[in-house]
């Protein structure tokens, strides 16, 4: 006999106080209720219920077993609900936060693919370079660039964010092209304010890693504004590859220091530690890991 079914019958008998009540609740005969409980007692080697002609009462062992039985049955119910959710169709509003540059040039271009795969999901994307509070601000998930602080959030590791050092051809024609990291001291470097990229750039070459101090002639907390400044020949920028790739490919910007790669920064997708993920969130996590993992 199915032990889990017997536990369910036992719990109903304990709740209703009679075999007849349990029989009505689970849809079997009172005699079958008695059989389930007898088999449980034989398996456990203890008496679970004191039986009279009119009513049943739990023994001390029965009270302890009932407490554990309720936990087991609740976990089974949760597991079944989770399985049912996994078959459910993703639907509803999905709230996402991402850093401005990655969100604009990396995430936004691929979101139409996700939405085409999940036509019943609406997406509300918020872009901000500050660290948002996922729970308090009501986001389903957030993309975060940089080392993670300790938190209770669950993190899915994505590919690192890559950067490029570049300038306009006109600027390089007028000022010359730097050949070594230390040459940047003689150039107009443009800083990303309120970040580690405002006063120093970390570059990696064949001989190792160097931290190059810069004294920016112009600083702004917008990658797009820095890109525009570089296109206007104001100076050299270090910015995310997604932001500058097309300009480099089409010749509007030229990569400098090609033997030195800017240090990458880790990127993660964060969400709350909820074991019952909604289908819309689960579908987006899978999509993001597939596209950016």
Domains 92-161+266-292 and 163-263 belong to one CATH topology: yes
44 vs 84, more confident: 44
Mean pLDDT, rounded, for 104-128: 93
CATH 3.40.190.10 fits 92-161+266-292, yes or no: yes
43 vs 157, more confident: 157
Residue 112 sits at φ, ψ, to 5 deg, of: -55, -30
Is the pLDDT reported for residue 36 higher than 70? yes
Q: Which of 47-61, 160-174, 190-204, 226-240 is the least confident region?
A: 47-61
**pTM listed for this prediction:** 0.64
Contacts of 150 (CB under 8 A, 6+ apart): none
Q: Which of 51-65, 185-199, 200-214, 226-240 is the least confident region?
A: 51-65
For residue 194, give both structure tokens: 């309120």
Residue 97 sits at φ, ψ, to 5 deg, of: -125, 145
Domain 163-263: top CATH class: alpha beta
Cα 68 to Cα 4: distance, rounded to the nearest angstrom: 12
Domain map of the chain by residue range?
3-87, 92-161+266-292, 163-263
Span 3-87: which CATH code?
1.10.10.10
Average pLDDT along the chain: 87
pLDDT at residue 1 in the model = 59
| Crossing angle for the helix pair 241-249 and 223-231, to the nearest 10 degrees | 20
Q: Which of 62-76, 168-182, 244-258 is the least confident region?
A: 62-76
Is the pLDDT reported for residue 88 higher than 70? yes
Confidence category of residue 49, pLDDT binned at 50, 70, 90? confident
pLDDT at residue 168 in the model = 97
């Amino acid at each position: 006999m199915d032990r889990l079914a017997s536990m369910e019958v036992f719990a109903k008998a304990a709740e209703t106080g009679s075999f007849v009540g349990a029989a009505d609740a689970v849809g079997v005969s009172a005699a079958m209720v008695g059989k389930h409980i007898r088999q449980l007692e034989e398996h456990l080697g203890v008496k679970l219920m004191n039986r009279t002609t009119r009513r049943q009462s739990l023994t001390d062992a029965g009270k302890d077993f009932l407490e554990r039985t309720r936990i087991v049955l609740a976990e089974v119910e949760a597991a079944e609900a989770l399985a049912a959710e996994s078959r459910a169709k993703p639907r509803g509003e999905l709230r996402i936060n991402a850093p401005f540059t990655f969100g604009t040039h990396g995430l936004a271009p691929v979101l139409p693919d996700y939405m085409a795969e999940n036509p019943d999901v609406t997406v509300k994307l918020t872009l901000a370079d500050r660290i948002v509070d996922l729970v308090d601000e009501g986001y389903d998930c957030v993309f975060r660039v940089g080392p993670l602080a300790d938190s209770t959030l669950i993190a899915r590791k994505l590919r690192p964010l890559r950067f490029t050092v570049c300038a306009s051809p006109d600027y390089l024609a007028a000022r010359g092209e730097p050949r070594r990291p230390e040459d940047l001291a003689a150039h107009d470097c443009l800083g990303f304010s309120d970040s580690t990229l405002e006063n120093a750039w970390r570059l990696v070459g064949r001989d190792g890693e160097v931290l190059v101090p810069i004294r920016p002639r112009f600083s702004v907390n917008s990658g797009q504004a820095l890109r525009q400044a570089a296109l206007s020949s104001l100076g050299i920028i270090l910015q995310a590859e997604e932001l500058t790739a097309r300009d480099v490919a089409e010749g509007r910007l030229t990569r400098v220091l090609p033997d030195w790669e800017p240090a990458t920064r880790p990127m993660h997708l964060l969400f709350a530690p909820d074991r019952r993920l909604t289908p819309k969130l689960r579908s987006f996590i899978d999509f993001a890991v597939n596209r950016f993992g």
